[in-house]
A and B are shown apart, each in its own frame.
Chain A
Amino acid sequence: MADPAPVSWPGVFFDGQSNRRRTVAVRFATAIEIIEDGTKLAVWDYAHVRGVDAPAGVTRLWSTDAPPLARLELRDPAARRDVEQYCLDLTGPGGVRPISVVRIAAWSLAAACVIVGMIWFGVPLVADQLAEVLPLSWERPLGEAIDRQVRAVFPGTPCTRPDGRAALATLVANLQSAAHLPIAPDPVVLHSPIPNAFALPGGRVYVLSALLDRAQSPDELGGVLAHEFGHVSHRDGVRRLIRDGGTAFLVGLLFGDISGAGAALFAGRSLLSAAYSRDIEAGADGFAITVMHRLGRPTAPLGALLLRISGPREEHFSILRDHPLTPERARRLEQENAAPSGPELLDPVAWQALRAICR
């Protein structure tokens, strides 16, 4: 290497000051000599030469001593062999180095773990804290906004038979006398073939008509309403909203542009939110139990209704179930059950009127 045979190769040189294309002779002497018509334009120390992007068949070089965009191009395969032989730091700082896929994959995995950890632990924590401090006056407009979306999803019209509504108002007033919600609840019954009930942020409670068809006593329906009032009292709606929003945002962050917002919502809503809902449902059940105890009414009918709707079979365990295992809930409601000591929540006439509210 002390005295390499000074061969000269044809090359193209751009000095990085102007875009003038210079046809040059490139000599691999003690350093790379770039010569145009016998004049040495530049001498590049081998150790400082870097390789940069080029099309196939072209070797494009830059020296860290030259202006940042100075380029030397060699096309002769033999010249490329010389470059590889003498320039030993082509991928050094400033040159194009092959990216380490393993490193990117490892960091991505770490980032994914952090984000999943934030979804699993951070988001519920933040949601709990925020739900505590968010004033009710903020929650109500939030509920109104969601209410509009819910009504778009459930096109069923509200059931408005006057005697049925009066009976519902009586039942709600009885429950409220023990529940003491900060906003007097005003549940709405919607036409729907799905037996279900749910509470929204801001205190709006919906009962779907199929649930009325399946309920056999005022205690069963009263238990369902007390459960939903529990969600309202615990402000689970806002909590869930913050949690779902935060989860969707973080999942979106994780997958970025490859999956789009749809997948983020898909994953955010179903895969993860249900995982925390066991405790929340148990909390609402606890609220319902307290209310029914105060009113001197039994708690077992709510469990019976749940079993009737979901069926007794529970074959596969799943974290995705929105509600905790129904038999487990029914068992708890059975254990807390007490013989009736207070007045009926609704008299038989009013109960029949309520069941017929949608007819």
Chain B
Amino acid sequence: MSAAESMAQTGGAASVRFTGANIAFRRLVERGALLELITFGFYRFWLTTDIRRHLWSNTEVDGDALEYTGRGKELLLGFLIALAVLVPVFLLYFLAGIAAERFKAFASLPLYAFLYLFGQFAVYRARRYRLTRTIWRGVRFWMTGSGWSYAWRSFLWGLLLLPTVGFAYPWRMAALERYKLGRTFYGTLPGSFGATGGQLFRRVWWIWLLGLLPVVALVGGTIAATVARRQGFVNTSAPMILSRLVIIGGFFLLIALPFLHAVRKATEWRWWAEGIRFGDAAVACALPPAALIGIYWALIGMGLLLVLGFGVIAAGITVLVSRLAGHAEPLAGSLAGMPVWTIVAYAIWYLVMVLAFGVLARIFTLHHVWRRVIDACSLLNPEAAADVASAGEAAGALGEGLADGLDFAGF
């Protein structure tokens, strides 16, 4: 923060803002979900591309909007190439898994580690694809570095999370961002990451502790109640009442979790944005910690409404099934006795529900958060980013395809 402030004194500040209309994005993702349904999901490549095009071209830095030059066809191609890579990998993984199961439990752990590494490799390569299709003022962003090198870092830092009960998380984030941004360029202007893990830790440690509180209360209360019962305490005795109160308190504390998550996200976004440097240009971010609370609660409210709506529909289907099907087959399992149309009805119900939740998630956690964060940022020292010569080439979409295939995909 102080570095950013001192920079603000030497140079000027330029505005960064989001100019898109909510309704335009909503229409885009609703239409996209519908098309995903009728194209068996294949439309996802074009939907992802359209979402990025919308977000990028409505993000204005110092008066000039970004441009996203990626295309859906590239993502489809990347996916197909990734398949050619992933099919043999999955087959080997499957066979190795069977072989490993013979030697009991932990034998398959290295395989998970390998898939994780592969996923992180894909994440890095996918970032490269997105970055090299990001244009501002006629000059592209690009990056060097190796996907495997990044994957190793991510993995080794990830190993540290377990013994430190997650407290290594800020330093892990900082190290990975340093790796990524330190190898990122805007034209000939090198990027870097100026924020540290310590800074993030100082801002989020209390959130982490508070987040553990309901878990501790629920687990601790349950254990205490069990122990008290074993030792012969009756329901009205003080230890039983006390442990029950702790459990009830834990439930109420669960309500606090979305607040904590929203505050953590806002704090992280701000910390991350303030760490971004390109040459002497930097980003200032005035996102208040409470900025995202409304967005997350709106998402929860809408999500609950959806659950209610789809619950009613499912109940309707079930009633219809029991009316028409008559009796259940004892020999056949739970699904096997149903006629085809009920399976199809449930499958469509399931797909529409998944798509509806996807629409919600994209509107709130992607678009609204993006807009809020972008609007809170400004570019410090914009003169340092003027007169930058173009450099870098567009990278292939294999990483995107791998990330899609491994379920590691971002936006």
Q: Is the C-beta of B139 less than 8 angstroms from some C-beta in chain A?
A: yes
A-B contact count (CB 8 A): 189
A125 at interface, CB cutoff 8 A: no
Asked if A21 meets B43 with Cβ closer than 8 Å, knowing A14-B138, A310-B331, the reply is no
Q: B135 contacts A69, CB within 8 Å?
A: yes
Contacts of A104 in B (CB 8 A): 35, 39, 42-43, 46
User: What's the dominant secondary structure at chain B's contact region?
Assistant: mixed
How many Å lie between the Cα of A54 and that of B60 in the bound state?
10
Question: How many Å lie between the Cα of A313 and that of B136 in the bound state?
Answer: 71
In the complex formed, the residue of B with least CB distance to A313 is: B327
Residues of A within 8 A of B44 (CB): 256-258
Interface-located stretch among B222-230, B266-274, B386-394: B386-394
Q: Mark B256-298, 1 if CB is under 8 A from A, else 0.
A: 0000000000000000000000000000000000000000000
Which of B337, B338, B350 is the one whose CB lies under 8 Å from A263? B350
Would you call A160 an interface residue if the criterion is a C-beta within 8 Å of the partner chain's C-beta atoms? no
Contact B64 A257 (CB under 8 A): no
A129 within 8 A of partner (CB) = no
How many chain B residues touch A (CB < 8 A): the figure is 71
Q: How close is A182's CB to chain B, nearest CB, in angstroms?
A: 20
Q: Which of B46-74 contact A (CB under 8 A)?
A: 46, 53, 56-58, 60, 64-65, 67-69, 72
Chain B residue with minimal CB distance to A69? B138
How far is A55 from B43 in the complex, measured between Cα atoms in Å?
23
Asked whether any CB of chain A lies closer than 8 Å to the CB of B160, the reply is no
A91 at the interface (CB under 8 A from B): no
User: Contacts A69-B140, A141-B101, A270-B343: A258 and B332 contacting too (C-beta < 8 A)?
Assistant: no
Chain B residues whose C-beta falls within 8 Å of the C-beta of A195 in the assembled complex: 330-331
- Confirm or deny: A282 has a beta carbon within 8 angstroms of a beta carbon on chain B: no
Q: How far is the CA of A21 from the CA of B24 in the complex (A)?
A: 29
Q: Is B165 an interface residue (CB 8 A)?
A: no
Out of A112, A319, A323, which one reaches B332, CB within 8 Å? A323
Given contacts A20-B387, A259-B351, A320-B338, contact A53 B68 (CB under 8 A): yes
Beyond A18-B388, A141-B101, is A53–B67 a contact (Cβ under 8 Å)? yes
| Interface residues on chain A, number (Cβ under 8 Å) | 68
Contact yes or no, A141 B102, CB < 8 A: yes
Which residues from chain B contact A255 at a C-beta distance below 8 Å? 40-41, 351
Contacts of A323 in B (CB 8 A): 331-332
Task: Give the top 3 A-B pairs by smallest Cβ distance, nearest first.
Answer: A14-B138, A108-B39, A19-B137
B-side residues, CB < 8 A to A, are 19-21, 24, 35-36, 38-44, 46, 53, 56-58, 60, 64-65, 67-69, 72, 83, 90, 94, 97-99, 101-102, 135-140, 186-187, 325-327, 329-333, 335-340, 343, 347, 350-351, 354-355, 358, 385-390, 404, 407, 409
| A/B interface sample: 8 pairs, CB < 8 A | A18-B187, A19-B186, A20-B386, A21-B137, A55-B57, A69-B135, A249-B90, A323-B331
